[in-house]
Each structure stands twice: as structure tokens, then as C-alpha cells.
């Protein structure tokens, strides 16, 4: 590609692309191509001028990269995400330009009588909105606007009316842009990530990137997994949670011939889906819908602000009437109408929440609504699942102890064959251990049944195979020990968690799982207590011995061992009944009931899809310190919302006083009001954590 260096400074270049016209897509392609280079620190491409400003660490390599770049390069095109935000920015730039141009033409070129007629026509929209509000028995801001404009027109001040309507339109445009940009920024951040799916084959299933899937391919989805693409079930049955699409609380049964949608989750069962639409892998639109839905999940502070905004409208009208009766000056009275609390209160609060959600995303935290951020800020009780949460997200297989004539490698191979279909930290450990030893396993088993919080059952060549906890294998399934194995079984090493494998009703092997405690766990729990959390609890399905050891090392206040999913959920309910604000943190299918019951359910990103779907918040699996960041971010959000609340009330009240006293004119009131609204909205987009 040919380009010309326009300006050069220290570690900075401004280049002009030698091209007659640059499209939005081409600008995005060049920007993301350059951003992908390790020697480029930052880049901004301006499509209107065809220029690119590049901050770099190696000038020579930047020049070579520019010379090699081509708009026909498919690899470069693949770097551009589904949505970049450039189109949205261009749309609002154009709208603002045309609005200002029309205003200039209206004032300079249109004759006065015609301007009056146009002002009356424009005013009719505001009058209709006010009448519609009154017809529903509501006194809202639209009534204030309509009265101010109508009074100005009646008094023959059509310039004032025109200016007021222009300021209102400009305010609406800027508010719309601020809100949409906040949503777009957050959605683009959340839509990043690579998904993999199980591709169904004649001989075995293969785990492949979702981008390699084509229409007509068959994919396998099992218990706890998200359905990644739209399609039709051609085999199997499943209970599918469609809450993200329909809001239904209960799972829907799907059988052969049923249609399933991307983003829904299999709660139980498994099925083979013939892919109908590969467009389902684009998360952006689905995430935008989720964000828009999440805005309905307002915190109590947001709800109070919104309610106050509406309740203050009658007082504004009363103040206007009182001002007129005292001063007999319509201009002073109209100045009060130009100021309302609603715009700023209703815009700044949700933008603060969206900004906090976007900022959280940069720390690996995904939040579904302001309601849950407030719950985290107010929480006094935190409940942790142990495995994959307080312990490392990637436990490992320490050893395999076999019984009878069974071989260690064959036992591990069989366990991995069953576990690979159900994403959980322990399952991942078994699969990885088999892979590290080069144990390739064929899909010889029949239908696999996953029993939540217990284990897996299947059959190979007609022989039943079970894998799971002691309770599941020996008590539920009635398996027994091989002869002369009692002593070996009683001396299983205490320092490990145990996964029991039985074939044909007889114990074949015990897989010892090394479950290292996260290095940061103890410090994180101490920091949470410093931030106001008074009670930290650990709940696990592991044995009393293992639970006690972990609890002592990390410093929880209480711990509970050998609990079932319903036990965790019941504990959450009891705590809430005692008036406590409860957060639950987990990563598995068995944690889902408790995650649903908590004021804020937090899932680990490496956990089961259904846990992430049920949870209100998801945090990165890399560092438990994200919980401290989440708590700090939530508390900062509440402080900002309260600060915005005080600023909006104080500033707008001051404008009303100045207008009523005649210090400022109605158009000045409108300008200052809209300017302050925009300033507060933009200020609400600032980062909350330093």
C-alpha cells in the first residue's frame, strides 16, 4: 500500500493513505491490522481524511507493515470484529452536522413570517407529546416543554420558542449518542472471545473452533453447555433454558425436530443439532439485547432517582405559576419551565451503570445489571464454592490408584472419555492428564448421563461404567470393592480429593485430584473483610477432612462439607431470611441453584456454561482478586450515582432560582440545563477506579 508521511515526531507518525476515498470498513481494517502488531502501541485511522496516526516502538517495522498492507488481505480482514463503533460515530457526526446546518439556514435564509409558521408546526410535536402524557394521567417533562414553547409563541416570541426547540432537539441527540455509545462500547468489549463446539462425526466427536462450523454441520451439546448456534435437533432430548431469549424461568423440552437457538443452555440431557444459521456465532446483537434488558434491572438508587425526577414535575409547574403570579413576568416563569431534573437524572444514572459494567469488563468482570452491582456493594455475606473457586481453577491429577487387575493408563483413558463432555475444573484435569500421557480414547461408550453434583454414568459394550463421588458410586449405584482391596481402599492418601471409577459394579480405580489452593485466596478474603464483608462461608461437596484443611488455610468464618446443590441454595435462603445481603460464588452445574437464590450470583468464567448463564456476574478465572475489584467498583458506582444525584438537584435548582429572579433568560436556562446534563452524562462515563 502506498502512503505518505505527513508528520513525524518521537515514536509517532501521521501518514496519509494514497487513496481517493477510504470507506469505513477499510479504515477499520487498517486500524486493526496495525493494532495487531506488537511494535504498535496505539493507532487511530481517520476515514474522512485518509490519515492514520501511529504510536510505535519500532519505526522501520511500522513502515514495512504499511508497505505490505492490502485491503484484499483476508487475514487482515479477519482481525476486524463484528462491530467496531466507527459506523455509530459517523452516524451521529452526520446528524449533528445536518442539525447545525439546518439551524443556520433557518436563522439566516428563511423569512420571518415563514419561520413563525415552521416554529408552530414544530411546536405541535411537543404539544402532542404533552397531551398524550396527560391522557394517561401523568404529568411529565414533556408537559413542561410544551407549556414553555406555547407561552413563548403566544407572546410573539417565536425566536425564543425556536431556540428552545433547537436546544431540546440538540439535547435529545446528544443524550441518544451518549447512551448508544456507552452500550456499544460495552457490547463490543463483551462480544470478544473464542468459542469451541463439539462437531459430530461418524466415528467420534471432535472439538473445533466455532468459526470452522458451516451450515448443515452437526454439533453435539450436552448438560451444562451453551447452544452456540441456531439449528434443529436431529437426535436426542434435552431440557433447554431459554431465559436469555424469552424470559421463561422453566426449561423447555426439546426433542427431535425441535428448533433451538444460540445463547440458550442445556440444563439436562444431550442432543445433536444440525446447524441452520452460522450467523448465530456473532454475539454482538445478542449482547446488546442483554444490556438493554439489564438496564431494566435498576438498582434501588437508580429507581429512586427516576421516581424523584417524575415526582418533581408538578412542583416545577407550581413554581412556574407562582413566579408568574408574583412577578407578572412570563419570561421569568418560562425560565423555570426550561429546567427539569428528569433529563439528567434519567440519563446520568443508567450511563453510570453502563460505564461501570464496561470498566468491569476490562478487569474480566461481566455484569448483567446495576441491581447486582448495588447488591455487591451492600453485601455482608459471601459464600464460596471450593473446587475451582477458592482452589485453583485448574486442578491436576496427582496419581491413579487401581484396584483388581485394572491398568492405570486404561482407567485414566476411560475416565477422560467420559469427563471430556462435561466442562468442570475436575473434568478438565482428568482430560488434560490423559492428553499429557498421550492417551487417545475412542468414543466407545453409549449415551452418557450426567447426575448433578454426583457423577457420570454410561456403558461400554453393555457394561455399566460410573465415575464420581463416593456417595454416588457406592451408595447410589451400589458398587463394591474387589476382593482383598479393603486395606488399600482405607489407606487412600488424605491430601487429595478422590474421583471413583467403577466398571460393572466393581471399583476399578481412584483418581487422586490435587486441588491446590489459589495463592491469592487468603489475601483476597482478608481484603473483602476490610471492604466491609462481615461473613465469609465455604461450601463444598468434598469430605470433611478436605474442607477443614482448605478452610483453615484461606481463613473463612464458616465451612460446610459434603453438601448437595439444594443444601447450598437453602443456606442462601436462610441467610437472606435473616436480613443479610448474600453473594454466592461458584463454577459448576451444582452451584446453579445457589447462584440463582443469591442477591448476586457470581460465576467463574472457566466453569460450566449453565453456571455462567444463571449467574448475574461472571469473573475471570485467572485471579480471584477480581472479586476485590468488583467490590471496589460497585462501591465507587454507588458513590458516583449519589454524587450525580446531589449535583443535578443542586445545579438545576440554582438555575430555577436565577430564572425566576430574572438573572438569566429562558434560552440561557435551556442552554445551561442541557449543557449540564451532557456534562454530567459524559462525566459519568469516566473510569471509576484509578
Q: Give the pLDDT confidence of 576-596 residue by residue, as tens digits.
A: 999 999 999 987 767 878 888
Cα(115)–Cα(118) distance, integer angstroms: 5
Q: Burial of 499 by CB count in 10 Å (0-12 exposed, 13-18 middle, 19+ buried)? A: buried
Better-scored residue on pLDDT, 686 or 510: 510
pLDDT at 405 over 60: yes
- What does CATH list as the number for 396-514? 3.40.1110.10
Question: What average pLDDT is seen over the chain?
Answer: 81
pLDDT at 671 over 60: yes
When pLDDT is cut at 50, 70 and 90, the band that residue 194 belongs to is very low
Regarding beta strands 51-56 and 12-17, do their DSSP bridges make them parallel or antiparallel, or are they unpaired? Answer: antiparallel
Q: How many helices (H) and strands (E) does the chain have?
A: 25, 24
pLDDT at 377 over 60: yes
pLDDT at 249 over 90: no
Better-scored residue on pLDDT, 227 or 606: 227
pLDDT at 562 over 90: no
Which pLDDT does position 300 carry in this prediction?
Answer: 62
Q: Where are the alpha helices (DSSP H) in 363-457?
A: 370-378, 408-419, 425-436
Closest by CA position to 414, among listed 452, 454, 463, 451: 463
Look up residue 36 and give its three cell numbers: 495487531
When pLDDT is cut at 50, 70 and 90, the band that residue 192 belongs to is very low
Cα(144)–Cα(150) distance, integer angstroms: 10
- Distant-in-sequence contacts of 27-31, Cβ < 8 A, 24+ apart: 27/86, 28/80, 28/84, 28/86, 29/71, 29/76, 29/77, 29/79, 29/80, 30/69, 31/84
pLDDT at 663 over 70: yes
**Considering only 128-137, 229-238, 570-579, which range has the smallest mean pLDDT?**
128-137
Closest by CA position to 561, among listed 549, 584, 544, 545: 544
pLDDT at 89 over 80: yes
Provide the β-strand partners of residue 285: none
**CATH top class, domain 3-80:** alpha beta
Which pLDDT does position 281 carry in this prediction?
Answer: 44
Cβ atoms of 608 and 587 closer than 8 Å: yes
Q: Tell whether domain 365-392+518-619 is in CATH 3.40.50.360.
A: no
**Considering only 13-27, 193-207, 469-483, 633-647, which range has the smallest mean pLDDT?**
193-207
When pLDDT is cut at 50, 70 and 90, the band that residue 513 belongs to is confident
**Considering only 21-25, 388-392, 560-564, which range has the smallest mean pLDDT?**
388-392
Q: Tell whether domain 196-282 is in CATH 2.70.150.10.
A: yes
Which pLDDT does position 332 carry in this prediction?
Answer: 79
Cα(234)–Cα(218) distance, integer angstroms: 9
Provide the β-strand partners of residue 502: 466, 507
Amino acid at each position: 500500500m502506498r502512503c505518505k508521511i505527513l508528520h513525524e515526531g518521537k515514536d509517532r507518525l501521521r501518514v496519509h493513505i494514497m487513496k481517493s476515498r477510504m470507506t469505513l470498513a477499510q479504515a477499520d481494517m487498517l486500524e486493526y491490522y496495525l493494532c495487531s502488531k506488537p511494535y504498535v502501541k496505539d493507532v487511530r485511522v481517520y476515514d474522512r481524511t485518509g490519515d492514520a496516526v501511529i504510536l510505535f516502538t519500532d519505526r522501520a517495522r511500522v513502515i514495512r507493515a504499511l508497505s505490505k498492507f492490502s485491503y484484499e488481505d483476508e487475514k487482515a480482514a479477519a482481525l476486524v470484529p463484528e462491530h467496531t463503533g466507527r459506523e455509530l460515530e459517523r452516524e451521529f457526526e452526520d446528524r449533528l452536522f445536518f442539525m447545525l446546518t439546518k439551524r443556520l439556514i433557518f436563522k439566516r435564509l428563511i423569512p420571518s413570517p415563514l419561520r413563525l409558521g415552521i416554529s408552530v408546526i414544530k411546536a405541535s410535536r411537543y404539544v402532542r407529546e404533552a397531551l398524550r402524557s396527560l391522557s394517561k394521567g401523568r404529568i411529565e417533562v414533556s408537559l413542561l416543554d410544551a407549556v414553555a414553547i406555547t407561552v413563548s409563541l403566544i407572546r410573539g416570541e417565536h425566536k425564543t420558542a425556536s431556540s428552545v426547540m433547537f436546544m431540546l432537539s440538540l439535547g435529545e441527540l446528544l443524550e441518544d449518542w451518549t447512551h448508544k455509545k456507552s452500550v456499544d462500547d460495552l457490547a463490543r468489549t463483551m462480544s470478544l472471545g473464542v468459542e469451541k463446539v463439539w462437531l459430530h462425526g461418524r466415528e467420534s466427536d471432535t472439538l473445533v473452533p466455532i468459526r470452522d462450523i458451516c451450515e448443515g454441520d452437526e454439533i453435539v451439546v450436552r448438560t451444562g453447555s451453551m447452544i452456540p448456534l441456531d439449528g434443529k435437533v436431529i437426535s436426542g432430548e434435552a431440557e433447554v433454558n431459554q431465559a436469555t431469549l424469552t424470559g421463561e424461568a422453566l426449561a423447555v423440552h426439546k426433542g427431535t425436530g425441535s428448533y433451538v437457538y444460540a445463547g440458550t443452555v442445556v440444563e439436562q440431557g444431550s442432543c445433536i443439532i444440525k446447524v441452520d444459521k452460522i450467523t448465530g456465532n456473532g454475539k454482538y446483537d445478542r449482547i446488546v439485547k442483554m444490556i438493554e434488558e439489564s438496564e431494566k434491572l435498576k438498582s434501588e438508587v437508580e429507581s429512586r432517582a427516576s421516581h424523584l425526577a417524575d415526582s418533581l414535575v408538578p412542583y416545577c409547574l407550581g413554581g412556574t405559576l407562582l413566579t408568574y403570579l408574583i412577578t407578572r413576568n412570563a419570561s421569568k416563569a418560562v425560565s423555570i419551565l426550561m429546567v427539569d431534573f428528569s433529563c439528567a437524572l434519567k440519563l446520568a444514572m443508567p450511563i453510570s451503570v453502563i460505564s461501570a459494567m464496561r470498566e468491569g469488563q476490562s478487569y474480566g468482570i461481566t455484569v448483567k445489571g446495576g441491581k447486582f452491582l448495588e447488591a455487591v456493594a451492600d453485601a455482608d455475606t459471601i459464600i464460596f464454592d471450593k473446587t475451582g473457586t477458592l482452589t485453583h481453577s485448574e486442578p491436576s491429577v496427582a496419581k491413579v490408584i487401581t484396584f483388581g487387575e485394572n491398568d492405570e493408563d486404561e482407567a485414566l483413558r476411560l475416565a477422560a472419555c467420559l469427563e471430556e463432555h462435561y466442562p468442570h475444573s475436575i473434568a478438565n484435569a482428568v482430560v488434560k492428564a490423559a492428553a499429557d500421557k498421550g492417551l487417545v480414547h475412542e468414543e466407545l461408550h453409549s449415551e452418557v448421563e450426567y447426575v448433578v453434583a454426583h457423577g457420570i454414568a454410561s456403558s461400554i459394550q453393555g457394561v455399566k461404567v460410573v465415575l464420581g463421588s463416593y456417595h454416588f458410586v457406592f451408595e447410589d449405584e451400589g458398587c463394591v470393592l474387589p476382593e482383598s482391596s479393603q486395606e488399600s481402599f482405607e489407606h487412600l492418601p488424605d491430601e487429595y480429593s478422590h474421583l471413583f471409577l467403577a466398571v460393572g459394579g466393581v471399583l476399578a480405580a481412584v483418581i487422586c485430584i490435587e486441588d491446590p489452593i489459589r495463592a491469592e485466596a487468603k489475601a483476597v478474603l482478608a481484603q473483602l473483610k476490610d471492604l466491609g464483608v462481615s461473613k465469609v462461608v465455604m461450601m463444598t461437596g468434598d469430605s470433611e477432612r478436605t474442607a477443614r484443611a482448605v478452610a483453615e488455610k484461606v481463613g473463612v468464618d464458616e465451612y460446610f462439607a459434603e453438601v448437595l446443590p439444594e443444601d447450598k441454595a437453602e443456606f442462601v435462603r436462610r441467610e437472606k431470611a435473616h436480613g443479610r445481603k448474600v453473594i454466592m460464588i461458584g463454577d459448576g452445574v451444582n452451584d446453579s441453584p445457589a447462584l440463582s437464590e443469591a442477591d448476586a450470583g457470581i460465576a467463574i468464567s472457566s466453569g460450566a456454561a449453565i453456571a455462567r448463564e444463571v449467574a448475574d456476574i461472571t469473573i475471570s478465572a485467572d485471579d480471584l482478586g477480581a472479586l476485590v475489584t468488583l467490590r471496589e467498583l460497585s462501591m465507587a458506582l454507588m458513590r458516583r450515582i449519589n454524587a450525580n444525584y446531589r449535583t443535578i438537584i443542586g445545579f438545576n435548582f440554582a438555575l430555577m432560582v436565577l430564572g425566576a429572579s430574572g438573572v438569566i433568560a429562558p434560552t440561557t436556562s435551556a442552554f445551561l440545563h442541557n449543557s449540564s446534563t451532557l456534562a454530567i452524562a459524559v462525566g459519568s462515563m469516566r473510569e471509576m477506579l484509578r
